[in-house]
A and B are shown apart, each in its own frame.
Chain A
Amino acid sequence: MPERRVVIGSKVGLHARPAAMFVQAAAKQPVKVTIAKSAGGDPVDARSILSVLALDARGGDEVVLAAEGDGADQALDELAALVARDLDSEG
């Protein structure tokens, strides 16, 4: 299954606004994407804000994004790029 490992660029981690932006972007993808902490833990649905918050992924933590099916690679590239950005200091 295609996956991407990416280090979280936002200082606050996948919380607050960065988490909301990530979940909204995941919901727009044609495939179901999962996210897990590289350090271990079960992958959760990237469209679930509560699951993403419960990961408690902090800035600098590495996460694994995974998806399957048509368009999986493109969806993963897009979401990985988003996670790597410092979303909190933008706009």
Chain B
Amino acid sequence: MAETLSGIGVSPGVAAGPVAQMAAPPVVPTDATPSGDPESENQAAMAAMRAVSASLEERASRAPGEAASVLAAQAMMAEDPTLASKVTAGVQAGKAAVTAVTAAFEDFRAMLAAAGPYMAERVADLDDLRNRTVATLLGVPMPGVPDPGHPFVLIALDLAPADTATLDKDRVRAIITEEGGPTSHTAILAKSLGIPAVVTVHGATAIAEGETVLVDGTEGTVAVAPDEATVREALDAEQAKLAALQSLSGPGRTSDGHPVQLLVNIAGDKDLAPAAAADSEGVGLFRTEFLFLDRPNAPTLEEQQAVYQRVFDAFAGRKVVVRTLDAGADKPLEFVTVPDEPNPALGVRGLRTSRRHPELLEEQLTAVANAAAASQAQVWVMAPMV
């Protein structure tokens, strides 16, 4: 008899597949009994740390850009000679390998945490490393997103940003979390990837590995072990709904006739084609930072004008709201951001930078105006962080 669990649907869509549970971080046994042979305890600990480091290096070699350097830095931590000597000192003092490893990590964790919030990410890297080393020593599943080798429905207590960074939407058919909420990281990520998701599903983490579930991210339901006919019916209904939606077009409005513009956001050249193809009334937010990031100088007027022209031409006859440069804490620019800004998130950023660099805004507006004059789009300009 199929059982249906309910939660809050946070990302619409219907999908079915076998469950893969995300392993929780391993629990360090408080009563781990040392074997009484410090030499073998030490060998076990060192072998675990080497294995973790090797697997991180292997993942780093497959990961793109920034993710690769984060993984490589983590592999370096796993090979740290001072960490190793703390572990060795621990087992020689009569501790079990797993206890000595945990204590050594805790020492460094305290030191890094004491260095301030600046170190928060390194502390998280270190915690992940400890969990991997402990899982290796205990022979329990590695924490993190599972890789069963086929598409699956991911079930977790909750997802952290680090877990979701590597989620592959071709493999993850749906996401179910036992905790979380409508504004959680899981919800935001699932929506942006277009993966159906249901959160706060009590009992989800108790569903057996490999069990088939049918997930409805709109209704917020999870059917456990549904029969094939039910699955087929639900997936067919979903297809029919999508097809019906695709046949709808035209300006947006509420059911009582109040017009509401449906606008897309773009933040780079790669967004342009899919955004222009979408049935929208235009662009509600055209972020221009991508033109300015990762370069030592501002782009020239001509360079900017050419990009704006491409966007406006793609949205000929539609609305495009251009947001002027918003450089700041999360998007520092070499030629704009002040290194000693006391409040980088809310201080001199956005429009305020034009007090220091009026020429940047001047040039950007000129480029927008020139491109707008030569296009059929209805061009608007938005000033950020006024």
Contact = CB atoms under 8 A, between A and B. Distances in A.
B80 A50 contact: yes
A54 B77 contact: no
A78 interface: no
A50 B116 contact: no
A49 B119 contact: no
B73 interface: yes
Given A50-B80, A56-B116, A56-B119, A11 B69 contact: no
A50 B119 contact: no
B268 to A, nearest CB: 24
B208 interface: no
- Identify the interface centre among A47, A49, A50, A56: most chain B CB within 10 Å of its CB: A50
Name A's interface SS: helix
A50 B118 CA distance: 15
Given A44-B82, A45-B82, A53-B119, A23 B76 contact: yes
A65 B119 CA distance: 23
A51 B119 CA distance: 13
Interface in A1-50: 11, 15-17, 20, 23-24, 44-45, 47-50
Contact of B82 (A15, A20, A48, A56): A48
Contact of B69 (A15, A17, A49, A54): A17
Contacts, number: 44
Nearest to A55: B115
A23 B69 CA distance: 15
A4 B274 CA distance: 57
Given A11-B339, A54-B111, A49 B116 contact: no
Given A11-B339, A53-B122, A54-B111, A48 B73 contact: no
A90 to B, nearest CB: 13
A69 to B, nearest CB: 17
A84 to B, nearest CB: 19
A50 B83 contact: yes
Interface in B302-343: 339
B77 A49 contact: yes
Contacts of A24: 76
B108 interface: yes
In the complex, which range does the number of interface residues on chain A fall in? 10 to 19
A48 B80 contact: yes
Contacts of B115: 53-54, 56
Contacts of A16: 73
Contacts of A47: 81
A49 B79 CA distance: 9
Residue from A15, A16, A44, A54 having most chain B Cβ neighbours under 10 A = A54
Interface in B147-203: none
Give the one of B81, B112, B118, B119 with max A CB within 10 A: B81
B52 to A, nearest CB: 14
B69 A51 contact: no
A51 B76 contact: no
Contacts of A17: 69
Nearest to A32: B81
Contacts of B73: 16, 20, 49
A17 B73 CA distance: 8
Contacts of A56: 115-116, 118-119
A17 B83 CA distance: 20
A46 to B, nearest CB: 10
Contacts of B224: none
A54 B83 CA distance: 12
29 contacts: A15-B118, A16-B73, A20-B72, A20-B76, A45-B81, A45-B82, A48-B80, A48-B82, A48-B83, A49-B73, A49-B77, A49-B80, A50-B82, A50-B83, A50-B108, A50-B111, A50-B126, A51-B82, A53-B112, A53-B115, A53-B119, A53-B122, A54-B111, A54-B112, A54-B114, A54-B115, A56-B115, A56-B118, A56-B119
Interface of A: 11, 15-17, 20, 23-24, 44-45, 47-51, 53-54, 56
Given A15-B118, A50-B77, 14 more contacts: A11-B339, A17-B69, A20-B72, A24-B76, A44-B82, A47-B81, A48-B80, A49-B76, A49-B77, A50-B80, A50-B108, A50-B112, A51-B82, A54-B115
Q: Which 3 A-B pairs have the closest CB atoms?
A: A48-B82, A54-B111, A56-B115
